[in-house]
Amino acid sequence: MASQIALDYATHRLRILAFDGSSKRIRVQAVIDVDLDVPPTDDDVEADDLRADAIAAAMKAAKLPSDPSAMAFDAGQALFREFDLPFTDAAQIAKVVRFEAESHIPLDIDDVVMQHLVLRKTRDKSHVLAAAVKKDDLLDRFDVLDASGIDPHFVDLDAFALFHALAGTGVAAEHPDAVVVSVQPESTTLLFLAGGELYAVRSLRMGTHSLHSAGTRLEANEQEVELARTHDFLGRLKRELRRTLTSLPPLEIPVVLVTGSGSRVPGFADAMREVFAGEVRELDFLAHVDHKLSAEEVERYGPDIGVALGIAYKLFGLEVTQTDFRRDECAYARKFDQVKSPLIVLSFLIFLVVALQCIDAVYRNKTVNREYDLMINWGDEALKMVLGDEAAAHAVWQGVEGQPQRVQAIHTRMEKEFSDLAAKLGRGDRLPWQPSALAAWIEFMEKVEANEKKLGRLLVSRLDIDVGARTPQFKVSGVMESRTKVDELIRILEEDPLYEDVRPSVTSATDDGMVRFDEIVADIDLAELERRVKEGIKSAERAG
């Protein structure tokens, strides 16, 4: 079933719209009306308790979810006031609008929840619409809904919800200059659009509900009575609409979009043409969304679903008016529940990312440690040959903390032995420098570490360095993450003057998705290697 519900809570009925999808593609699953005109009982039972039972029964029968949900409040039960403010900054307007509205609203400002819209702006003036709803009216409806486990995330006026439906379905973009006339059972809403934006809002406290109770004094058959009711209703509506137009600046109205239950009253379209002198079109919101409703349900709800649909769009994140009447004592108290599940998912993802990074760091550390162990073993063997004493060779590096420091200690001792031998021979620094495979290895490893981010994982399976050959050569084989990484290693070697004539390797895929390169071969520039070794010795002496 649907994952969310939108409520159009009017005086005499509650309309529940069940839906899923997204703000770009809403899919209506079901529409249910609950009659709130509960019959009186002999028992001392509150009417709101009977309404709560009726809503709970309807929700249970339709197997609808109670959360998430949002609600539209009847604009006929709200107070609207318009006034000008001598500035256009949104922050300034928000600071003073409540105090300015207090002089226009004939109620204690602390007893109402107020929201505002900036309808129009000039260079230094803002025309503001303030709407106020009694807190007690909202709290009473929350109590009725609470019996069904419904706690709306937000509350908006049905007039503002209707504008969200126009924006969400694309009707506002299709008819940027128009007037929307929505005749509901309890009230009539007028939305004036200019350039696709809300230009003016009016709510008339008259609706089709009066058609079912008026005219009982007439002595005529039922058809004549209904005709008289309709004629009376349309006459009063036309007078109110003309009075509304006189209060507005001149506005071009090329099209009149009619919706709501009253839009199908006989003669309604003709009445609208008389008042607005524009093209009249019936606005069927269901034609703009996906739905699973039957033909009978489409016929019944099609012209009267706009308010609930606007709440659905807003619940999905489409926010046009920035209004929410769940404020002060009426504020939504379970906001953490809205973000609890996303926070749990986000926390798990963060934990997963950190865990994977830690695992990768452990493996990388093991690889580096193995490589340092190999370098130390090779250096230790070289020291044994030079010193002729295994214990003395071990003593050079065993007391040093840290593998890089041990490698450096071996390197420094080898250089010292070289200098001592030169002094004994009486040749000083003229003693020819003897090329060292260890020095070439160190240079290669430093180059790899310096480009660690570019190269990624590098597992060296074989490394041959022959500095005594006619043409000193460097050969390396191993495994990397991809062919691109292998090419990057070759490029880095080619850019280093230590390596000449770098020959690429034959590559092949491994079972674990990595790439094996058989052998990268490069000639070693011994003069460059000698320069770097001597430069390293001087740096070590200066540091010592």
Residue 285 domain-assigned (yes or no): yes
Which residues, other chains included, contact 541 with Cβ-Cβ below 8 Å and sequence gap of 6+?
none
Phi, psi of 267 (to 5 degrees): 85, 0
Angle between helix 437-450 and 335-387 (nearest 10): 170
Residue 540 domain-assigned (yes or no): no
The per-residue pLDDT for 541 is 67
CA distance 332 to 91: 24
Angle between helix 437-450 and 403-424 (nearest 10): 150
Residue 536 domain-assigned (yes or no): no
303 and 384, same domain (yes or no): no
Residue 79 domain-assigned (yes or no): yes
392 and 520, same domain (yes or no): no
Contact between residue 433 and residue 530 where contact means Cβ atoms under 8 Å apart: yes
305 and 350, same domain (yes or no): no
Please identify, among 395, 412, 432, the residue that sits at the C-terminal boundary of a domain: 432
224 and 358, same domain (yes or no): no
At 190, which helix (H) or strand (E)? Answer: strand 188-194
Instruction: Report CA torsion sign: 250, 256, 260, 265.
Output: positive
Please identify, among 379, 410, 432, the residue that sits at the C-terminal boundary of a domain: 432
415 and 448, same domain (yes or no): no
Contact between residue 162 and residue 307 where contact means Cβ atoms under 8 Å apart: yes
16 and 60, same domain (yes or no): yes
Cα atoms in the Cβ-side hemisphere of radius 13 Å centred on 257? 23
The per-residue pLDDT for 329 is 84
Cα–Cα distances (Å) from 493 to 53, 127, 490, 496, 503, in that order, read 80, 70, 5, 5, 10
Residue with tokens 């691109």: 484
The per-residue pLDDT for 40 is 66
Residue 542 domain-assigned (yes or no): no
The per-residue pLDDT for 216 is 41
Residue 537 domain-assigned (yes or no): no
255 and 345, same domain (yes or no): no
398 and 480, same domain (yes or no): no
**Counted domains in the chain:** 3
Residue 119 domain-assigned (yes or no): yes
Residue 534 domain-assigned (yes or no): no
The per-residue pLDDT for 214 is 39
Please identify, among 314, 333, 352, the residue that sits at the C-terminal boundary of a domain: 333
- pLDDT tens, 415-457? 888 777 777 665 544 445 566 777 888 888 888 889 988 998 8
Dihedral angle over CA of 239, 243, 245, 248, nearest 10 = -170
241 and 299, same domain (yes or no): yes
214 and 303, same domain (yes or no): yes
The per-residue pLDDT for 175 is 92
Contact between residue 495 and residue 489 where contact means Cβ atoms under 8 Å apart: no
| Domain containing residue 487: CATH number | 3.30.1360.100
Boundaries of domain holding 354: 339-432
Helix (H, G, I), strand (E, B) or coil at 145: helix
45 and 102, same domain (yes or no): yes
Low-confidence spans in the chain with pLDDT less than 50 = 1, 213-220, 336, 428-431
11 and 156, same domain (yes or no): yes
